[in-house]
Chain A
């Protein structure tokens, strides 16, 4: 199965910081990568698909980049509502796989 490795696993930051999360794929996934935000006890919410396309309604401080095997989610000017766990997912091949998650904590 295609493996996705996120780094870091935990990230401590302050409101107003700019943070980046990396997702590396074990094989080429082209642009078929998504990013989700999950808060405790809630379902994940899609933020970005096709590596860099922001879902309508998602704040512009979220951005995605990358192609092939290396991808980045960047959150500019971190807001209190952004403290959550973030997952990447590849959807180019079966089975769809997710990264292990990155928890963004308040410093």
Chain B
């Protein structure tokens, strides 16, 4: 059974930093691109970033470029999202999401999400 468990969310002041983690199990982690998708309170879904199988290729939505960094550790079956210079508009539930086989952006399994609140 595929499981994705996020952690690291919390309350942070504008300009602050947080590191989200996602631990995966139930599938061959090193064979899949991994994504982060977020959802602001009461709003729709927004793709944030993804990373290829060996961590050598990373892509970001324009609004987080230069502030967020995605990484992975295949030995630990984990993917991370380092978030710096956080803004109020980054407040959202952040989901770790596994891709469909052979896809970079098509996703199937989602974690339960971790809430990031940026507020003074």
Chain A residues at the B interface, C-beta cutoff of 8 Å:
32, 34, 36, 42-46, 49-50, 55, 87, 89, 91-92, 94-101
Contacts and interface: CB of A to CB of B under 8 A. Distances in A.
Interface size class of B (residues with CB under 8 A): 20 to 34
A95 B50 CA distance: 10
B113 A43 contact: yes
Contacts of A36: 45
B63 to A, nearest CB: 9
Most B C-beta atoms less than 10 A away, residue of A32, A42, A94: A94
Contacts of B109: 46
A44 B44 CA distance: 11
The main secondary structure of chain A at its interface with chain B is: loop
B112 A49 contact: no
A43 B95 contact: yes
B110 A98 contact: no
Contacts of A94: 59, 105
A91 B106 contact: yes
Contact of A49 (B46, B108, B111, B113): B108
A27 to B, nearest CB: 15
A100 B107 contact: no
A34 B107 contact: yes
A46 to B, nearest CB: 5
A95 B95 contact: no
Contacts of B107: 34, 46, 89, 91
